[in-house]
Structure 1
């Protein structure tokens, strides 16, 4: 693999071209941000834990018939992926009322959501990722109605799989964010699935085990990330 200047630098990951035109290099950095970048820090090994958990979950989903951009890990913080043309829509699956759902709507925090609620947000920091509906997505030419239905179906399948696995390690999957992109004629799961993109609560104590620990100064962020990685992957 050949690294040069990144072709994309996000809040916590950098993307590089590789020698293979159908593969990209993703480096998980140690940066952590919250509130649209208003709060930011660098925490040693944070990128390693997110890469480890993301790779584990991508492999778990692949084994259960859900394809993604994930190809393999190159080292502990370097992921090889298929190139995707990302769709600027965040697909958020909510199993328990928390976060913005409680702030913006008359839900009680901790209330179970059955069936799960899918929220679609337009990915744009300058606009603070506003909620978007299916008609606007179609009007903007981001996805067709059939593609939206397929993505939502995939998101619910992913939810079933993740909830089952995360339940086994004593955590509740409160909610999580997915991003998708186009690879040729396919729409594939992309980005990452990690403590940065999931809200996790300990089943017994209801303690946050995700980026909320950083957002709201709830404790030792890296000890939390390390604990989730160890419980999930055994490493």
Structure 2
């Protein structure tokens, strides 16, 4: 097993069979000790966050498989906080795709002149470049195509998959009385150039509320996968 990358919330290892192993950490993104799924720095460490995040990720990847959604997931070992995945190439140096159902976070900060806090959004899809130095700037379809990061056809597939996957997560949360406000996803290409969901689906990359109250990642994960 060879270490490939040490990330903010996960470390990545290459396996001898060509697959990869993701090791989940207890670190979560945020600023000044406050969790923020959209932040590009580690804000705090929550004991148990890695295991809880992996349990929820396994739950959702298995649910997506039932719905014939393409993902890199193979299996997970909850006790060891590891997940085995298929190899996938990221777009450029990495993209984050956010699906928004409510106006909060960076969307609200940018568009406050027009948007009201918590305003309903119709599964608004937003793409940002993974670029810590420049604060993960948003980028649109035309720029992605012109810069050679995505073709227009790939962008359309990415957008459709984002909404379908996010709706599966939203419905699963709703069954537990939880409302999904937004979720951040990542995608890549497999060896056949098929676009598939990569990374994770956990409380650490979404905002969810119950009875109007925000749920911290560990609280959310206890509700969804007790």
Q: C-alpha separation between the residues in 2 aligned to 1:37 and 1:199? A: 16
Q: Secondary structure at the match of 1:119?
A: strand
Q: Secondary structure at the match of 1:163?
A: helix
1:65 matched to which residue of 2?
Answer: 68
1:53 matched to which residue of 2?
Answer: 56
Match of 1:20 among 17, 20, 28: 17
1:10 matched to which residue of 2?
Answer: 7
Q: C-alpha separation between the residues in 2 aligned to 1:138 and 1:228? A: 37
Q: Secondary structure at the match of 2:52?
A: helix
Structure 2, unmatched stretches of 5+, are: 32-38
Q: C-alpha separation between the residues in 2 aligned to 1:74 and 1:168? A: 26
Match of 1:181 among 178, 183, 188: 188
Compared with structure 1, are the counterparts of its residues 164 and 38 closer, same or farther at alpha carbon in structure 2 (3 Å cutoff)? closer
1:150-169 superposed Cα distances (whole Å, 9 cap, x missing partner): 11011111122111111011
2:222 matched to which residue of 1?
Answer: 230
Q: Secondary structure at the match of 1:179?
A: strand
Q: C-alpha separation between the residues in 1 aligned to 2:194 and 2:89? A: 10
Match of 1:101 among 103, 107, 127: 107
Q: C-alpha separation between the residues in 2 aligned to 1:144 and 1:208? A: 37
Give 1:38 shift: 5.2
Q: C-alpha separation between the residues in 2 aligned to 1:162 and 1:32? A: 20
> TM-score, normalization: structure 1?
0.86
Match of 1:158 among 152, 165, 171: 165
Give 1:33 shift: 2.9
Match of 1:142 among 146, 149, 152: 149
> TM-score, normalization: structure 2?
0.89
The answer on whether the counterparts of 2:27 and 2:42 sit within 8 Å (CA) in structure 1 is no
* RMSD of equivalent CA atoms: 1.5
Structure 1, unmatched stretches of 5+, are: 211-223
Higher relative contact order, structure no. (Cα contacts within 8 Å, ≥ 6 residues apart): 2
2:34 matched to which residue of 1?
Answer: none
Match of 2:206 among 185, 193, 198: 198
Compared with structure 1, are the counterparts of its residues 71 and 39 closer, same or farther at alpha carbon in structure 2 (3 Å cutoff)? closer
The answer on whether the counterparts of 2:51 and 2:78 sit within 8 Å (CA) in structure 1 is no
The answer on whether the counterparts of 2:54 and 2:78 sit within 8 Å (CA) in structure 1 is no
